[in-house]
């Protein structure tokens, strides 16, 4: 399977994603500069976390207009796989590929720590290797992670099974005390109605080896590979 990791000016998690895809999962992977317009050779595109140029205006608001994003939109519309992590999730929302918006964390502080997230659905290419309600220990690192969405859109997302992950207790209880950033209904990750585009605030690439604290993020990568027949 061939992956493309999109690199925006200022990105700092692109190397993390490349390392996991190349050295841990042993898949073909390239860096894709944000000025590129041809992504036809890839099976999955990764918009990594970290930062992107123009975040001082609004996270992802400028990166959304990078030349590569037109190609990403067509890529997603064709049914191929796209994952946006943290800042990449924000860019996907700015581009209209996922519903909702991100605001500053409640408390207005940057948060960098492990959290627990519950798998809400296994009916996606990204969670098919998980079991319903499985709790994953994955880190977050963001200043803007407070996911918000209008009530009517939220209800439609629930109906279509687009809510993929929620912040929870280690035992899997979804409670306000375990919501690190104030996100609506503890939402940590969503997909589009077709399921081929995933956006999530936690960093699965930072939880892909037990030596660094958790390998729970592998569930997401392994689900994707299995879905694609690898």
Catalytic residue numbers? 86, 203, 205
Q: What span, in angstroms and rounded, lies between the C-alpha atoms of 215 and 223?
A: 14
Q: Give the torsion through C-alpha atoms of 40, 46, 50, 56, to 10 deg.
A: 50
Sheet hosting strand 111-119, strand order edge to edge: 28-33, 2-7, 44-47, 81-85, 197-200, 187-191, 163-168, 111-119, 135-142
The gap from C-alpha 74 to its chain's centroid, in whole angstroms, comes to 19
Q: Which residues contact residue 156 at a Cβ distance below 8 angstroms, ignoring those fewer than 6 apart? A: none
Closest CA to 205 of 30, 46, 51: 46
Q: Which residues contact residue 29 at a Cβ distance below 8 angstroms, ignoring those fewer than 6 apart? A: 2, 3, 4, 5, 18, 21, 22
């Amino acid at each position: 399977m061939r992956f493309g990791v999109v690199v925006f000016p200022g990105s700092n998690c692109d190397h993390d994603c490349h390392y996991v895809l190349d050295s841990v999962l042993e898949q073909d992977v390239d860096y894709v500069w944000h000025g590129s317009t041809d992504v036809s050779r890839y099976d999955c595109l990764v918009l990594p976390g970290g930062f992107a140029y123009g975040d001082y205006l609004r996270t992802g608001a400028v990166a959304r207009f990078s030349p590569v994003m037109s190609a990403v939109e067509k890529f997603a519309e064709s049914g191929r796989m796209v994952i946006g992590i943290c800042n990449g999730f924000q860019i996907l929302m700015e581009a209209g590929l996922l519903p909702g918006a991100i605001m500053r964390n409640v408390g207005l502080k940057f948060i960098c720590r492990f959290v627990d997230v519950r798998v809400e659905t296994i009916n996606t290419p990204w969670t098919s290797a998980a079991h319903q309600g499985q709790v994953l220990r994955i880190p977050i690192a963001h200043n803007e992670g407070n996911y918000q969405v209008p009530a009517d859109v939220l209800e439609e997302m629930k109906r279509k099974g687009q809510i993929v992950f929620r912040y929870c207790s280690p035992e899997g209880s979804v409670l306000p005390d375990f919501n690190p950033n104030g996100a609506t209904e503890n939402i940590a990750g969503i997909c589009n109605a077709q399921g081929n585009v995933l956006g999530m605030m936690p960093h699965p690439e930072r939880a892909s080896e037990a030596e660094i604290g958790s390998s729970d993020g592998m569930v997401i990568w392994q689900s994707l590979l299995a879905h694609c027949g690898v």
